[in-house]
Amino acid sequence: MMLVMASTIMTMIMALAMMLLCKMVNKSSIQNREKMSPFECGFNPKKSARTPFSIQFFLLAVLFLIFDIEIAIILPVVITMKLSMTSKWIFTVMLFITLLILGLYHEWKNGMLEWTA
């Protein structure tokens, strides 16, 4: 019990020492307009860095990432074909592809794949 308490106290002391050291090393710089503005090759930016973007583009990009990850999941399935029973392998692959197709159908029916200007 004494060893646990000593370890806990030492851990807390080390954490506090590191926090204090970081606080002393970190100097708050004077924030002026040049340092707070976005940097574009030394020139003033032509547009605001906080311009809004299209939500449809964001949703399409997220869908692309989801399906891209699904392809990365499908690739090792081919390698496992040699190691597993054929009927279980076919069932698993068909279930996985069916879920992907149903998800794509759902996105299509909700109009998320349509690009509106």
Q: Tell me, what's the pLDDT at 28?
A: 60
Contact 45, 37 (CB under 8 A): yes
Q: Is the pTM value of this prediction over 0.85? A: no
Q: Tell me, what's the pLDDT at 6?
A: 93
Torsion angle in degrees (nearest 10) through CA of 36, 39, 42, 48: -90
What domain count does the chain have? 1
What is the DSSP secondary structure assignment for residue 47, as one 8-state letter?
Answer: S
Q: Tell me, what's the pLDDT at 25?
A: 79
Domain with 88 in it:
55-109
Please give the structure tokens belonging to residue 1.
Answer: 């019990």
Minimal CA–CA distance to 69: which of 27, 29, 100, 102?
100
Q: Tell me, what's the pLDDT at 13?
A: 96
Domain membership flag for residue 48: no
Q: What is the mean pLDDT of each successive set of 10 residues along the chain, which is 117 residues long?
A: 91 94 72 62 63 76 83 80 80 87 87 70
Domain membership flag for residue 104: yes
The residue type of 72 is A
115: left (phi over 0), alpha (psi -120 to 50) or beta: beta
Q: Which residues of 44-58 are buried (b: 16+ CB within 10 A; e: fewer)?
A: eeeeeeeeeeeeeee
Domain membership flag for residue 18: no
Domain membership flag for residue 38: no
Q: Tell me, what's the pLDDT at 29?
A: 53
Domain membership flag for residue 69: yes
